[in-house]
Chain A
Amino acid sequence: ETGVTQSPTHLIKTRGQQVTLRCSSQSGHNTVSWYQQALGQGPQFIFQYYREEENGRGNFPPRFSGLQFPNYSSELNVNALELDDSALYLCASSLAGTRGSETQYFGPGTRLLVL
């Protein structure tokens, strides 16, 4: 049991809509990262939040945005959904300590289908 939870588990939206995905970090972790995993591919880094500030971003457009709250839970928001946004969205939490050494603990993911 990693302690990282995500909601909802599954979601169906139509093109052009907006979606919010939620992640609850493992207790004591102050960093959360979001990934998009298309079918048959490895996860692609979207962005990372550390102490409520964005702390690195991958090659995703601005319609992908996020928030981290004081309790270190997090949201991923996607506006103007496109068909290619259909994927498994994973969040991972970690404890920022010795730089780069921390292990990331992943949640079970939210599977998003855009029709």
Chain B
Amino acid sequence: KQEVTQIPAALSVPEGENLVLNCSFTDSAIYNLQWFRQDPGKGLTSLLLIQSSQREQTSGRLNASLDKSSGRSTLYIAASQPGDSATYLCAVRPRDNFNKFYFGSGTKLNVKP
């Protein structure tokens, strides 16, 4: 069974710092990986989707990388802002059951002004 782990569980940084969030998964047979943002009590907002054949995706200050062979993905946030404060979740879609996502427990990010 696919297991997804996110480290750290929580992170507090001063505004302006560059930071990296980590996601690891146990089964490398994935179809794609997606990073989401969740604000308190709210639904999920998709940030970046990486297909299994891709190495990275970029959107604005966000860059996500994927190393399928080692079962790892990172989300890089440049020049963090207080508005980036949220919980960040990664989810993988397995190749043999692409109808479902396996989510990690998330990294709760606090960017201090």
Contacts and interface: CB of A to CB of B under 8 A. Distances in A.
Interface of A: 2, 4, 6, 33, 35, 40-45, 48, 50, 55-56, 58, 88, 90, 92, 99-101, 103-109, 111
Nearest to B95: A100
A56 B102 CA distance: 13
Nearest to B104: A42
Is the contact region of chain B dominated by helix, strand, or loop, or is it mixed?
strand
A14 B54 CA distance: 47
A43 B44 contact: yes
B61 interface: no
9 contacts: A4-B43, A33-B100, A43-B91, A45-B100, A56-B97, A58-B100, A106-B45, A108-B43, A109-B41
A90 B44 contact: yes
A48 B43 contact: no
Contact of A100 (B4, B41, B93, B102): B93
Contacts of A90: 43-44
A37 B98 CA distance: 20
A42 B99 contact: no
B98 A99 contact: yes
A42 B100 contact: no
